[in-house]
Structure 1
Amino acid sequence: MDLEYTITIRFDGLDAEDHEIDLFTLGESLQGLARIAGTVGHFAATQEYSRYFRSHELKVLAKEPRENCFSIDVVFEFIRQHQILAGTFPAALTGLIAWLLHRATKKDTPGADLSAKLLETLRELAGQNAEQTARLHGIMERMVVDLRPSFKQAFAPVGVSCRTLTIITPQRSDTFDETDKASLLLPINDEITELQDWVVLITELDLERGTCKARLAADPDEKRINSIITDPLLKQHNNPYSLAMAAGEPLPVRAKAHIQDGSIKRLYISDVGI
């Protein structure tokens, strides 16, 4: 083996809290992550885009799972040495994967910062050649579309057997949750709003799954909205959500809304409002 580079895939919450995870969704997730990692790794090493594993300049391997919730190390084993690999490959690989995942899920992040880092990475890969940099940027945009099925596979356990998926490298750590998965799965005519203030009346609450049914306090006669609560405060005894439901009182929250055909289909509640 000439060179090896490792990233960690970590699943947290739900079954993963007991160091277990649904095998079917795990297998689906690993297939998607392998496709993403292999394609991006080959691109970072060669500046060429290929979706065919047999033509890639590296292998993507997995080590044994670990019990800090549920983690798997993904190892990149290079088939032959490249000059770029000695210094720039790890940071390039990390940045490219982070940009793709944030772009595909429309995740809240300093977009300008990520875009600037992407451009910096592509310039380095292109040897500061402007025409080559533009070509590489076009390939990255194409990957966002072409790898969409693989992104969906990668998120398979989220909301089913775990609450979050985290990509960990020495350079950075990025955590994705059910809101990010929902953005990825949305039909083109749907949307996820920005984080907003809402006032809700909670009528049902599942503390174990972190789900609830609620009505908007401004429209108490409207149909209840299925909601997901990602706020860690929900795990505490006498948390605001349980107390508000028991008292039948409205609760201000911070949440994103999944809008479909102009109606709220789901709320993703992240914390209690003021």
Structure 2
Amino acid sequence: MQADAFIAEDLNLPFEIRYEGLDAAHHRIDMAALAESLDGFSRIYAVIGHFISTGQYAKQMQALNVKAYAQESEAKCFNISAVLDFASSAGLFQGMMGAALTAIVAYVIHRNSGNREEMKHLRELLEQQLGYSKQVTERMMDTIDRLSDGLRPSVKKAVSPVGNTCSRIDLYAEGSKHQTMDQSLKDSLADDGESQILSEKVYTVEISEMDRIKKTCKVHLVGPDTEEATEDDGTPRRINADITDPAALIEPNVYMEAWFKSTKIKVKAKALLRNGLIVKMYISDTA
């Protein structure tokens, strides 16, 4: 009787998708980009919802026992309030379906973006919070890996508005933000080769080019972060960078000053790696 109560309690899981910045800051968004994004999110949430309720990975939408519904939402940035409606539940994640949903959504996103540092949290949820044995955990992780790889096209669709009609997408569950999908993640999905997004850290750089309108620049690493001292022609290896720090909108600012004076500057940034080299940086603040 108690088990039925837990399952019934979890038959509807609310979540929210918020599109932030650019057009979305004015409570509007390009309809074509929104349609593509929602098509991706619909499959991501429905496939993962089916898994957490049955323990099975189903590729065909017709086979899923979960539907993702959009609901009426309030005007903020541009947000979509939604709910997963379960036709039935086997109680695989009994009493923790919400936690399982956010953890697996995060795993799918980060596995496809190559952010390996974030992927350990799902394993910890399965082993520590749910108390599954190592053998059961490995079997479930294998299924989730296949599920993640199958959802790669949907993740690409979901993030399509970023950089075009919004600057990022924030995912919410139970009123709290649990994931951000930004330009760095979108860029990591653009290349089907080996790529990886590193977690934010502090780098010391010199800015050699600056576009104050687009908030982009070229930098080269200095000090202990330097991978290669020079290019083939003897000049420092330069890396394209986007500046998402709102301070870059103000003139003058520390980035323009560092570029104008050719001085070193410490920045907080995510780095996109391809073939082991940093090919792009996403600067969020100074350090």
Under a length normalisation based on structure 2, what TM-score does the superposition of the two structures give? 0.78
Is this contact kept in 2: 1:258–1:266, CA < 8 A?
yes
Give the corresponding residue for 2:184: 179
54, 67, 70: which one pairs with 2:75? 67
Question: Offset at 1:221?
Answer: 4.2
Shift of 1:142: 0.9
Specify the alignment match of 1:78 in structure 2.
86
Q: Any conservation in 2 of the 1:205–1:242 contact (CA below 8 Å)? A: no
**Residue 168 (structure 2) aligns with:** 164
Give the C-alpha shift of residue 58 in structure 1: 1.7
Any stretches of 5+ residues in structure 2 without a counterpart? Answer: 1-7, 223-228
Q: Distance in 2 between matches of 1:161 and 1:216?
A: 31
**Closer/same/farther in 2, CA of residues 188 and 214 from structure 1, 3 Å limit:** same
Inter-partner Cα distance in structure 1 for 2:116 and 2:143: 23
d(CA) in 2 for partners of 1:85, 1:222: 52
Q: How far apart are the structure 2 equivalents of 1:269 and 1:238?
A: 17
- CA 1:109 to 1:138, structure 2 compared with 1: closer, same or farther past 3 Å? closer
Q: Is 1:232 aligned with 2:246?
A: yes
Distance 1:81 1:136, change over 3 A: closer
Q: Runs ≥4 in structure 1, deviation > 6 angstroms?
A: none
- 1:99/1:115 contact within 8 Å kept: no
Give the alignment partner of residue 141 of structure 1, picking from 145, 159, 162: 145
Give, in angstroms, the shift of residue 103 of structure 1: 2.6
Is the 2:53–2:88 contact (alpha carbons within 8 Å) kept by the matching residues of 1? no
Aligned to 2:210: 204
* Structure 1 position 267, deviation (Å): 2.5
Give, in angstroms, the shift of residue 135 of structure 1.
2.5
Specify the alignment match of 2:32 in structure 1. Answer: 24
Residues 1:98 and 1:262: Cα distance change in structure 2 (over 3 Å): closer
* 1:232 partner letter: P
Give how far 1:258 is off: 3.6
**C-alpha separation in 2, matches of 1:222 and 1:87:** 55
Equivalent in 12, 15, 38 of residue 7 of structure 1: 15
**d(CA) in 1 for partners of 2:206 and 2:122?**
34
| Alpha-carbon separation, structure 2, partners of 1:4 and 1:69 | 25
Work out which of the residue numbers 154, 159, 184 in structure 1 matches 2:158.
Answer: 154
Q: Unaligned 5+ residue runs, structure 1?
A: none
Note if contact 2:126-2:137 (Cα within 8 Å) is conserved in structure 1.
no
SS at match of 1:243: helix
SS in 1 for 2:157: helix
1:251 paired residue among 253, 261, 265: 265
Return 163-172 or 52-61, whichever deviates more: 163-172
Work out whether residues 206 and 262 of structure 2, in 8 Å CA contact, stay in contact via their aligned partners in 1. Answer: no
Q: Within 5 A, what are the aligned runs for 1:95-114?
A: 95-107=103-115, 111-114=119-122
Mapped to 2, the partners of 1:24 and 1:240 lie a distance apart of: 37
In angstroms, what is the RMSD of aligned CA positions? 3.2
Q: Residue 43 of structure 1 aligns to a residue in which SS?
A: helix
Verify the 8 A CA contact 2:19 2:168 in the aligned structure 1. yes
